[in-house]
Amino acid sequence: QEPPRGLRNRLSWWGGYTAAVLVNAVRRVQQTALAMEGKGFGAYADRTYLRMLDRRRSGYVCAVVAVLGTAVLWWSL
């Protein structure tokens, strides 16, 4: 297709692209706003809740057993 000639034709030609970009930008902003609203962004003073984990001997033993069990199963294949 031949490129447009003249100022009016060029503005019309670029107007189609500009409209498509703006429509997609508005659509993306709406999706972001809905996601932020769904997650409760701004509803609480703190964004996340930090929970401290208790590291007990039983936790370490369980982790070592899980790793050893995985290794035994891996090498038995």
Give the model confidence (pLDDT) of 12-52 as tens digits: 878 888 889 999 999 999 999 888 888 777 666 666 667 77
63 has a pLDDT exceeding 90: yes
Tell if the pTM clears 0.75, that is, is over it.
Answer: no
Rg (CA), the chain: 29
Q: For residue 1, name the pLDDT band (cuts at 50, 70, 90).
A: low
| Domain extent listing, the chain | 1-44
pLDDT at 74 over 80: yes
In angstroms, rounded to a whole number, what is the distance separating the alpha carbons of residues 48 and 50? 6
Q: For Cα atoms 2, 11, 16, give the angle at the middle one, nearest 5 degrees.
A: 80
